[in-house]
């Protein structure tokens, strides 16, 4: 592990309730604490409604939280609006439609991503030099997109769009990469390809990443650390050798042990 | 044939309105009704300034600026006070009704005896007013189209376009979508007020009801333009289509008025034309897709193309 002991992400006891004060009140995050070291690639699993997406959205600043603090590389971002936090964060969503602009060209989408965290000025939106760089990056995805740079993104398949979104999220080497079930909407073969690209980009840019997945096998096979969430808290945190020894069965057993309940995640069970 | 030329001349200045509506309605995907107030704002402010002896060009520029402020207000109401788009526009439009009355000092302002862009130039160049209007209209439209082509090609312009397509993605990419919407609406309403500033000088008066129905006129122009330039891939061609659409719309109106259609029926006819055009483009799109008879007739709305792609993909994904 790194000797630099400022964590890349530090979640300090954050809480978030939806519909507070009503009968529908739902405490989605309940004093959640989590520290990510520089270079940690953490897979996140948990039952339906455990708070995985809420945690990622809270870190990204999609909504304000009720209590606690979020620090990215030592900077307290708790009160920064979403678009300002984006300077530190790359994101890929579950819905392949969500991460790109369908009605814009592949290269236009990349050019927008290449300006994450920078002022958008009256300079031309894409330069010739950038085009060359984008072409090389697209070629590395090995999906043939480098020859379709002026095609509208809406014409791409879901897998191609997720790969492009990954490229856009990592283009500016974010301090933090947040992946929320980004392969869940893809067929198994495409999902495997997108995961392979994910691994490649994370190691290439030496990123710190949180990857939510409902596929326990993927959660075990990828990353250096695995956390399990339940009722808005982390109930299991394993890394290193211990993580490599995990099996799907041992994970489900650990879940019941730590939460006192049976593991419920409709999609995870289907994928067993 | 003079009435057709006059219709064209009018179409060219109403085209500025259509370009403004295009920015809000198509680029930002924001149904902005402030339009009806801002076109009158442009006309009232320009007329008032002209009666005070202001330089016509200065009056036009100030009207543009005032329109930008009004558009920014709509954007502020929507983004910062979280008021829904339609209501934000209606609120600005309603407020502008009072503002416009105050500016003009009455419901009507005659420009018969004051120097306007048209009167001063017809005198200086000794040229017929219709020809002069055609020349001015063409030059102004070309300049505005060029400026828009440039602006929407810049980093800022691209982020405004992206905001209209996928706001969530924009914020994830660090775009301040409140700001891009405010800038887009300001630009849109600036152009709409600019249109008003030319209209009042062309017709020689300004009236508090000048803007009534203008949103529908703008939409009609866009729809006609898109139907004709349906295959336009280039942004400049799309803009050209809208200007052509606005000119066609005015010429058609000029023709029906020439054949003695009562003036008061023009608006209901416009509404009817827009409804018919919207219906036909939808229907033609469906037909075109199923049978490839009509090709890509009309404008395939962006989100329709998107959902098609989604459906195609979903077809292969049954693992969920
Ligand atoms: N925007 C929202 N409004 C209201 N309630 C919400 C909202 N987002 C999440 N919740 C609630 O908060 C709880 C946690 O939801 P969250 O989406 O974080 O779960 P998750 O762990 O991502 O589950 P899944 O595996 O189903 O994606 C759930 O009970 C959910 O209903
Ligand atoms: Mg979720």
Give every CB contact of residue A94 below 8 A, 6+ residues apart in sequence: A180, A181, A182, A184, A185
Evaluate: CB of A232 within 6 angstroms of ligand 1: no
Indicate if the pLDDT at residue A168 is higher than 90: yes
Least confident of A18-32, A76-90, B296-310: B296-310
CB B23 within 8 A of CB B230: no
Q: In this predicted structure, what is the pLDDT of residue A269?
A: 52
Percent pLDDT > 70 in chain A is 95
For chain B positions 137-196, those within 8 Å of chain A (CB to CB) are 151, 153-159, 161-162, 165-166, 168-177
3-state secondary structure chain B: CHHHHHHHHHHHHHHHHHHHHHHHHHHCCCCCCCHHHHHHHHHHHHHHHHHCCCCHHHHHHHHHHHHHHHHHHHHHHHHCCCCCHHHHHHHHHHHHHHHHHHHHCCCEEECCCCCCHHHHHHHHHCCCHHHHHHHHHHHHHHHHHHHHHHHCCEHHHHHHHHHHHCHHHHHHCCCCHHHHHHHHHHHHHHHHHHHHHHHHHHHCEEECCCCCCHHHHHHHHHHHHHHHCCCCCCHHHHHHHHHHHHHHHHHHHHHHHHCCCCHHHHHHHHHHHHHHHHHHHHHHHHHHHHHCCCCCCCCCCHHHHHHHHHHHHHHHCCCC
Name the 3-class secondary structure at A260.
coil
- Which element (helix H / strand E) includes A15? strand A9-18
Each residue of A93-145: pLDDT tens digit? 999 999 999 999 999 999 999 999 999 999 999 999 999 999 999 999 999 99
Indicate if the pLDDT at residue B199 is higher than 60: yes
Q: In this predicted structure, what is the pLDDT of residue A5?
A: 79
Q: In this predicted structure, what is the pLDDT of residue B301?
A: 38
Percent pLDDT > 70 in chain B is 88
Instruction: Give the count of beta carbons closer than 10 Å to the beta carbon of residue A30.
Output: 15
For chain B positions 200-259, those within 8 Å of chain A (CB to CB) are none
Closest CB from A112, A154, A186 relative to B173: A112
Which ligand is closest in space to the CA of residue A50? 1
Mutate to test the interface with B, among A60, A93, A125 (most CBs of B within 10 A): A125
Nearest of B191, B227, B215, B223 to residue B267 by alpha carbon:
B215
Q: In this predicted structure, what is the pLDDT of residue B285?
A: 66
Query: What does the block give as tokens for B154?
Result: 């810049």
Indicate if the pLDDT at residue B300 is higher than 90: no
Which residue did the predictor score with more confidence, A66 or B120?
A66
Q: In this predicted structure, what is the pLDDT of residue A4?
A: 60
Outline where chain A has alpha helix (H).
Answer: 52-60, 82-85, 106-113, 128-141, 158-170, 188-204, 216-221, 240-244, 248-259, 266-270
Place of tokens 């469906």: B286
CB A73 within 8 A of CB A39: no
Question: Cα separation of A167 and A194, whole Å?
Answer: 11
Pocket test for ligand 1, best of A45, A53, A233 (most atoms within 8 A of CB): A53
**Torsion A20-A21-A26-A28 (CA) sign:** positive
DSSP of A73-135: TTEE-TTS-HHHHTTTEEEE-SSTTTSS-TTSBHHHHHHHHTTTTS---SSBS--HHHHHHHH
Place of tokens 């009720």: A66
Q: In this predicted structure, what is the pLDDT of residue B286?
A: 66
CB B12 within 8 A of CB B18: no
Closest CB from A89, A125, A156 relative to B158: A125
CB B40 within 8 A of CB B213: no
Indicate if the pLDDT at residue A75 is higher than 70: yes
Q: In this predicted structure, what is the pLDDT of residue B266?
A: 81
Q: Categorize the per-residue pLDDT at A253 as very low, low, confident or very high, splitting at 50, 70 and 90.
A: confident
Name the 3-class secondary structure at A49.
coil
Evaluate: CB of A53 within 6 angstroms of ligand 1: yes
Q: In this predicted structure, what is the pLDDT of residue A230?
A: 94
Indicate if the pLDDT at residue A1 is higher than 50: no
Question: Cα separation of B207 and B211, whole Å?
Answer: 9
Min distance A255 CA to chain B CA atoms (Å): 23
Query: What does the block give as tokens for B292?
Result: 């490839």
Q: Which domains does chain B have, with CATH numbers?
A: 2-260 (1.10.3470), 265-320 (no CATH)
Name the 3-class secondary structure at A244.
helix
CB A156 within 8 A of CB A97: no
Residue A125 at interface with chain B, using a CB cutoff of 8 Å: yes
DSSP category for residue A10: E
Q: In this predicted structure, what is the pLDDT of residue A37?
A: 96
Question: Cα separation of A86 and A95, whole Å?
Answer: 19
DSSP category for residue A216: H
Place of tokens 């919407």: B181
Question: Cα separation of A204 and A210, whole Å?
Answer: 16
Question: Cα separation of A66 and A151, whole Å?
Answer: 43
Closest chain B residue to A154, measured at CA: B306
Question: Cα separation of A6 and A73, whole Å?
Answer: 6
Q: Categorize the per-residue pLDDT at B231 as very low, low, confident or very high, splitting at 50, 70 and 90.
A: confident
Question: Cα separation of A103 and B312, whole Å?
Answer: 17
Indicate if the pLDDT at residue B274 is higher than 60: yes
CB B107 within 8 A of CB B211: no
Residue B320 at interface with chain A, using a CB cutoff of 8 Å: yes
Q: In this predicted structure, what is the pLDDT of residue B288?
A: 56
Indicate if the pLDDT at residue B295 is higher than 60: no
The pLDDT mean for chain B works out to: 88
Indicate if the pLDDT at residue A25 is higher than 90: yes
Residue A168 Cα to ligand 1 midpoint, Å, equals 26
Each residue of B145-196: pLDDT tens digit? 999 999 999 999 999 999 999 999 999 999 999 999 999 999 999 999 999 9
Please compute the mean of the pLDDT values over residues A3-22 and round it to a whole number: 91
Please compute the mean of the pLDDT values over residues A12-33 and round it to a whole number: 95
Least confident of A57-61, B10-14, B132-136, B287-291: B287-291
Indicate if the pLDDT at residue B289 is higher than 60: no
Residue B232 Cα to ligand 1 midpoint, Å, equals 43
CB B198 within 8 A of CB B16: yes
Please compute the mean of the pLDDT values over residues B212-216 and round it to a whole number: 93
Pocket test for ligand 1, best of A15, A18, A95 (most atoms within 8 A of CB): A18
Indicate if the pLDDT at residue B318 is higher than 90: no
As its CATH architecture, domain A1-78+215-272 has 3-Layer(aba) Sandwich (3.40)
Name the pairing type of β-strands A75-76 and A67-72: antiparallel
Indicate if the pLDDT at residue A30 is higher than 50: yes
Each residue of B28-83: pLDDT tens digit? 999 999 999 999 999 999 999 999 999 999 999 999 999 999 999 999 999 999 99
Mutate to test the interface with A, among B27, B29, B164, B169 (most CBs of A within 10 A): B169
Nearest of A64, A56, A51 to residue A93 by alpha carbon:
A56
């Amino acid at each position: 592990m790194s000797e630099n002991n400022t964590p890349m992400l530090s979640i300090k006891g954050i809480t978030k309730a939806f519909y507070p004060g009503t009968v529908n009140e739902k405490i989605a995050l309940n004093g959640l604490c989590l520290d990510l070291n520089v270079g940690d690639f953490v897979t996140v699993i948990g039952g339906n409604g455990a708070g995985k997406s809420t945690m990622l959205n809270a870190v990204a600043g999609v909504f304000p939280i009720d209590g606690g603090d979020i620090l990215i590389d030592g900077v307290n971002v708790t009160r920064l609006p979403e678009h300002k936090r984006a300077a530190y964060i790359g994101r890929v969503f579950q819905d392949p439609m969500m991460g790109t602009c369908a009605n814009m060209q592949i290269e236009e989408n990349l050019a927008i991503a290449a300006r994450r965290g920078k002022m958008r000025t009256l300079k031309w939106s894409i330069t010739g030099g950038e085009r060359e760089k984008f072409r090389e990056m697209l070629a590395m995805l090995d999906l043939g997109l480098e020859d379709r740079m002026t095609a509208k993104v809406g014409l791409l398949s879901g897998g191609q769009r997720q790969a492009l979104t990954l490229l856009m999220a990592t283009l500016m080497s974010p301090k933090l990469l947040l992946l929320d079930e980004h392969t869940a909407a893809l067929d198994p073969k495409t999902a495997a390809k997108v995961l392979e690209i994910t691994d490649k980009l994370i190691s290439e840019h030496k990123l710190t990443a949180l990857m939510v997945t409902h596929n326990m096998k993927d959660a075990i096979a990828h990353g250096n650390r695995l956390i399990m969430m339940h009722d808005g808290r982390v109930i299991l945190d394993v890394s290193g050798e211990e993580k490599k020894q995990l099996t799907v069965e041992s994970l489900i057993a650990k879940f019941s042990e730590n939460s006192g309940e049976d593991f419920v995640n409709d999609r995870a069970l289907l994928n067993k | 044939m003079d009435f057709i030329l006059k219709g064209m001349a009018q179409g060219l200045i109403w085209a500025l309105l259509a370009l403004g509506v295009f920015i809000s309605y198509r680029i930002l995907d924001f149904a902005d009704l402030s339009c009806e107030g801002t076109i009158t704002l442009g006309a009232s402010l320009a007329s008032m300034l002209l009666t005070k002896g202001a330089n016509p060009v200065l009056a036009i520029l100030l009207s543009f600026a005032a329109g930008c402020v009004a558009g920014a207000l709509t954007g502020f109401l929507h983004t910062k006070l979280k008021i829904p788009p339609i209501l934000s526009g209606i609120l600005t439009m309603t407020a502008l009704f009072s503002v416009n009355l105050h500016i003009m000092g009455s419901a009507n302002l005659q420009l018969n005896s004051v120097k306007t862009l048209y009167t001063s130039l017809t005198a200086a160049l000794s040229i017929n007013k219709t020809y002069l209007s055609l020349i001015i209209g063409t030059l102004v439209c070309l300049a505005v189209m060029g400026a828009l082509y440039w602006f929407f090609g810049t980093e800022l312009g691209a982020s405004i376009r992206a905001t209209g397509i996928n706001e969530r993605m924009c914020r994830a990419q660090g775009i301040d979508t409140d700001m891009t919407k405010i800038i887009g609406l300001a630009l849109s309403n600036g152009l709409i007020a600019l249109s008003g500033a030319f209209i009042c000088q062309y017709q020689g008066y300004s009236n508090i009801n000048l803007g009534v129905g203008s949103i529908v006129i703008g939409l009609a122009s866009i729809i006609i333009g898109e139907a004709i330039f349906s295959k336009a891939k280039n942004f400049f061609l799309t803009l050209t289509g809208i200007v052509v659409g606005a000119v066609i719309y005015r010429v058609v109106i000029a023709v029906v008025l020439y054949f003695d259609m009562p003036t008061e029926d023009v608006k209901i006819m416009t509404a009817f034309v827009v409804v018919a055009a919207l219906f036909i483009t939808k229907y033609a799109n469906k037909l075109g897709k199923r049978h490839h008879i009509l090709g890509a007739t009309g404008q395939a709305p962006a989100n329709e193309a998107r959902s098609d792609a989604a459906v195609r993909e979903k077809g292969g994904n049954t693992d969920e």
